[in-house]
A = this chain, B = another copy of it.
Amino acid sequence: MPEASARPSREELYAWRAFLRAHAHITRVLEAELVAEQRLSLGGYDVLVQLAEAPERRLRMAELADAVLLSRSGVTRLVDRLERAGMVARERVAGDGRGVVATLTDRGLDVLRTAARTHLAGVSRHFVALLTPEQLRHFGELCEKLID
């Protein structure tokens, strides 16, 4: 692997900005579809998915902040909103004074199942469909390399 200079070249910065722009573009389109069809933000969807995949559908708030794939800084506010909507419940951990876990409710799981149809159709349309299968495979491999 070549040693990177302290300041990226013009071509390197171009690739970096293309990465950020692609991510911003796709997540905004997916968010708009999810809000329009399901009244759920993409961040809210992210929280519901992480809880659905966790053992017993529950995570400590700190674990949840690590698990989400979008903004970690807004997780507390997101959980507040999902709790008011009955999709998530917050509970103290017995015998742990500072522990709070977020649990996916049955209603949250129902909303997630419906929202997943909108979301996954959007992923197909705005991500998968734009690359050939070979390009998509290569893109996934390059993304894996970026998780050092």
Q: A7-B124, A19-B127, A126-B148 are in contact. List 9 more A-B contacts (CB 8 A).
A: A2-B132, A4-B128, A6-B124, A8-B120, A11-B137, A15-B140, A22-B147, A25-B147, A71-B71
SS class, residues of chain A in contact with chain B: helix
Digitize A31-71: 1 where CB-to-B-CB distance is under 8 Å, 0 elsewhere.
00000000000000000000000000000000000001111
Question: Which A residues lie at the B interface, using CB under 8 A?
Answer: 1-8, 11-26, 28, 68-74, 117, 120-121, 123-133, 135-148
Q: How far is the CB of A73 from chain B (nearest CB, A)?
A: 8
Bound: A119/B13 CA distance, A: 12
Bound: A140/B5 CA distance, A: 19
